[in-house]
Structure 1
């Protein structure tokens, strides 16, 4: 069942990513190169790529030995944290900001709604929750922190920010820092909930 779910979830994730890329290229007015850079500037896309890579690895690996980097205990939990933040931020902050129709709507729901649920389900079924350490949470913050620094530096030179809550031009740097701190708190909160819940589930 684990391999079947891995294959299914990998297909769904890669379909959503590739379809979103094609849709974005088709709607582009800035050219292939700039559109491609903007595509990979979205935390949603980068995180869904991470999810797709994880499930692709799970689908083809012959065993789940922890010596393989992607199979180390805790990697699934960190990936789950990232994709849950993607889903929650979209549902709470961005859903009313952007309106989609047709295939755009389907792909958007896959990236922001269905895939986070699928990853959480996989985490519940297969992560070795009891041995995940609390101190790992700090390490998990590196990815979103590097991402934030990247989009702020790129935004400074290009005046393009992928999300409205980090748009320095509209909000000012102080407000963007406040917004970023709140999202970092969300990362820490979800991480803590998953680690704590995981230990309780495995204990019961």
Structure 2
């Protein structure tokens, strides 16, 4: 069994967990759950993991530099779901112990992060990659503010609907509050991206290589 096919079943499980978590959120609470970054990022992981399973089945290369740089962007996008929820939203949650909640906010993000850290080759990213990895969260921020201020599509289970999250509610808290939160999250996200770049830049010795004999 080669390196690519060795982790086929692990990524099958990852895809299943992401699909189940996303599906439960939408089936239980409605299609409007797609307005949440949490559900969008988990859907992205579900699609990306399904692609990885399909690629492994077809024996395609999942260790190319271009693929791993894109995968890192997905990793960062799902990990912000875990971190923001744990630090800012979980303390306010009244229904924490739901299967879909644990899947979407903890199990799937951490599973995907571990997959990236331990199964992907080292030294594949470029120095500026953490900058463009911020693209998806920034796009979501713009989308969430436009919806909350102008379109006003209702968001299921959101106390601050049509804003998905309390720290985006401009009419209630003001622009200074929203901008302070947004800039802080952006900087933390960017620093986390460079931390991932640093971790994946460390040269790991090849343990399969036999020691030289004198």
Give the length in aligned residue pairs. Answer: 190
Matched, 1:63 2:59: yes
Alignment check: 8 A CA contact 2:124 2:200 kept = no
In structure 2, the residue matched to 1:90 is: 85
Q: Distance in 2 between matches of 1:97 and 1:146?
A: 25
Q: Distance in 1 between matches of 2:63 and 2:10?
A: 22
Match of 1:117 among 107, 110, 122: 110
In structure 1, the residue matched to 2:211 is: none
Gap runs ≥5 in structure 2: 1-5, 153-160, 207-214
Match of 1:12 among 6, 13, 17: 17
In structure 2, the residue matched to 1:154 is: 147
CA RMSD of aligned residues (A): 2.2
Distance 1:164 1:90, change over 3 A: same
In structure 1, the residue matched to 2:34 is: 40
Distance 1:169 1:8, change over 3 A: same
Alignment check: 8 A CA contact 1:129 1:195 kept = no
Helix, strand or coil: the match of 1:177?
helix
TM-score (norm 2): 0.82
In structure 2, the residue matched to 1:28 is: none
Q: CA deviation at 1:101?
A: 6.1
Distance 1:63 1:100, change over 3 A: same
Helix, strand or coil: the match of 1:195?
helix
In structure 2, the residue matched to 1:200 is: 202
Q: Distance in 2 between matches of 1:67 and 1:197?
A: 17
Alignment check: 8 A CA contact 1:17 1:45 kept = yes
Match of 1:166 among 165, 168, 177: 168
In structure 2, the residue matched to 1:23 is: 28
Q: Higher mean Cα deviation, 193-202 or 57-66?
A: 57-66
TM-score (norm 1): 0.86
In structure 2, the residue matched to 1:106 is: 99
Q: Distance in 1 between matches of 2:163 and 2:119?
A: 36
Match of 1:128 among 121, 126, 132: 121
Q: CA deviation at 1:108?
A: 0.2
In structure 1, the residue matched to 2:212 is: none
Larger helix proportion, structure 1 or 2?
1
Alignment check: 8 A CA contact 2:52 2:62 kept = no
Spell out, residue by residue over 1:142-166, the C-alpha distance to the aligned partner (whole angstroms, 9 max, x if none): 1111111111011002161001111
Distance 1:76 1:67, change over 3 A: closer
Gap runs ≥5 in structure 1: 26-35
Q: CA deviation at 1:203?
A: 6.3
